[in-house]
Amino acid sequence: MGKPLIAVNHLKKSYGNNVVLRDVSVEIERGDVIAVIGPSGCGKSTFIRCLNLLEEPDSGQIVVDGVQLNNHGSQIDGVRRKMGMVYQDFNLFSHLTVLENVILAPTHVLKIPRAQAISEAFALLQLVGMAPRADFMPNQLSGGQKQRAAIARCLAMRPEIILFDEPTSALDPTMIDEVLAVIRKLVKTGMTSVIVTHEMAFARHVSNRVFFMEEGGIYEQGTPEEVFDNPQREKTRIFINKLKVFERSGAIHLLDPFELVQELTDYCNKYELSRRETNNITLVLEEILVFLTHHASVDDRVRIFVSYNESTGEKKMEIGYSFPSGNLLEHPDFDPLSRRLVEGFSTGISVGTKEGLEHLFLEGF
């Protein structure tokens, strides 16, 4: 395999004390369609804006087609022209028609003759379904039409790569599908694309690779099947499965069991679990915590992780502990009545080791 089209090495970016990108290294091959997903504020837009230096990285390298962009001695402008950008808010010139917006850069930057630029512009407007509105002003267009015109304007510069920065985030829900349809049509031509999006079904079906961003970098990556169907890391699973999570951890002797049960009750109420479900979950936690706090030493740790899947209604609990070893429910000092309560409220119970702690995995409630 030859050199990647884009290579990012140890990229870092901060805004004051806010570290957005910590140490990002990744390669993008020619023809890749990359979907960049993750929670709001995780650095998705900053990442792709660094790729064409709309944001100046603090450190690291961005190499495009063998040329390091963030090297002031290189021919940056020529390389940057290979990367088109489609923004959240269209950025059309309000005083120009759709056609004039599309031909402006090709005639002035690429020095393409006006007649040729117009001919190419109409072909692109036809591609995005905007040819009948070539003479419209931006204020005569819907949000979806503005974004499709912006895509045509981007393509008019003959890019080798297109960066999409949440292209549907500013659109009314009724207009999202028309823009996504155009992007699907575009990537089928083999255009290398990096797409920041919150549209998960679209990300899954349009891309050949997915970057999930968290903790200041690319937390997990893989094919759509790997990331969406079998995520390997916990925060990816939480995001993909739309899990609502309750998590606490620390030294057992410092945790107040009754305070934790009240916090878990508040969590259940927040996500509108039924009174029965809330009662079952909190009773199970209380029985286990009472045992742990009565038998643990000062150095023993505990981790409590409860997740609720809003899509499926599935509820799970993980209790991690450094004492005892194995299944705590089978410990001779675990009260038999408490064991029956825990087993009665749980449809599935298993044990294992995770992150250096013994774990009890429960589901149901």
Least confident range from 23-27, 76-80, 210-214, 233-237: namely 76-80
- pLDDT of amino acid 73: 58
- pLDDT of amino acid 144: 93
The number of folded domains in the chain is 2
Residue 152: give its domain's CATH number: 3.40.50.300
- pLDDT of amino acid 310: 84
Q: How far is CA 181 from CA 90, 151, 188, in A?
A: 17, 12, 11
Residues 235, 248 share a domain? no
Q: 298-310 pLDDT, tens per residue?
A: 889 999 999 999 8
- pLDDT of amino acid 74: 55
Mean pLDDT of the chain: 92
Residues 313, 326 share a domain? yes
- pLDDT of amino acid 204: 93
Average pLDDT, integer, range 175-202: 93
Least confident range from 114-123, 237-246, 331-340: namely 237-246
Determine the distance from the C-alpha atom of residue 273 to the mean position of all C-alpha atoms in its chain, rounded to a whole number: 27
Q: 15 versus 355: which is more confidently predicted?
A: 15
- pLDDT of amino acid 77: 74
Q: Where does residue 9 rank: exposed (0-12), middle (13-18), buried (19+ CB within 10 A)? A: middle
Residues 344, 213 share a domain? no
The domain in which residue 56 lies consists of 6-239
Average pLDDT, integer, range 18-27: 95
- Are 196 and 44 in contact by the 8 Å Cβ rule? The answer is yes
- pLDDT of amino acid 321: 94
For residue 365, give the nearest of 310, 321, 306 by alpha carbon: 306
- pLDDT level of residue 72 (50, 70, 90 thresholds): low
Residues 161, 34 share a domain? yes
Q: Hey, what long-range contacts does 266-274 have (CB within 8 A, 24 or more apart)?
A: 267/306, 270/244, 271/244, 271/308, 271/310, 273/308, 273/315
- Are 221 and 29 in contact by the 8 Å Cβ rule? The answer is no
- Are 158 and 105 in contact by the 8 Å Cβ rule? The answer is no
Q: Model's pTM, two decimal places?
A: 0.79
Q: Please identify, among 239, 259, 281, the residue that sits at the C-terminal boundary of a domain.
A: 239
Residue 338: give its domain's CATH number: 3.30.565.10
Percent share of the chain, pLDDT over 70 = 99
- pLDDT of amino acid 3: 87
- Tell me whether residue 325 is in a domain: yes
- Residue 97 to residue 137: CA distance in whole angstroms: 4
Q: Which two tokens stand for residue 254?
A: 């410092």
Residues 290, 168 share a domain? no
For residue 161, give the nearest of 2, 1, 23, 7 by alpha carbon: 7
Average pLDDT, integer, range 176-187: 92
Q: 234 versus 213: which is more confidently predicted?
A: 213
Residues 209, 109 share a domain? yes
Average pLDDT, integer, range 257-271: 93
pLDDT at 250 exceeding the cut of 70: yes
- pLDDT of amino acid 187: 92
- pLDDT of amino acid 1: 57
- pLDDT of amino acid 89: 86
Average pLDDT, integer, range 218-238: 94
- pLDDT of amino acid 101: 97
Other CB atoms closer than 10 Å to residue 131's CB: what's the count? Answer: 16
- pLDDT of amino acid 137: 97
Q: Please identify, among 207, 239, 271, the residue that sits at the C-terminal boundary of a domain.
A: 239
- pLDDT level of residue 256 (50, 70, 90 thresholds): confident
Residues 278, 212 share a domain? no
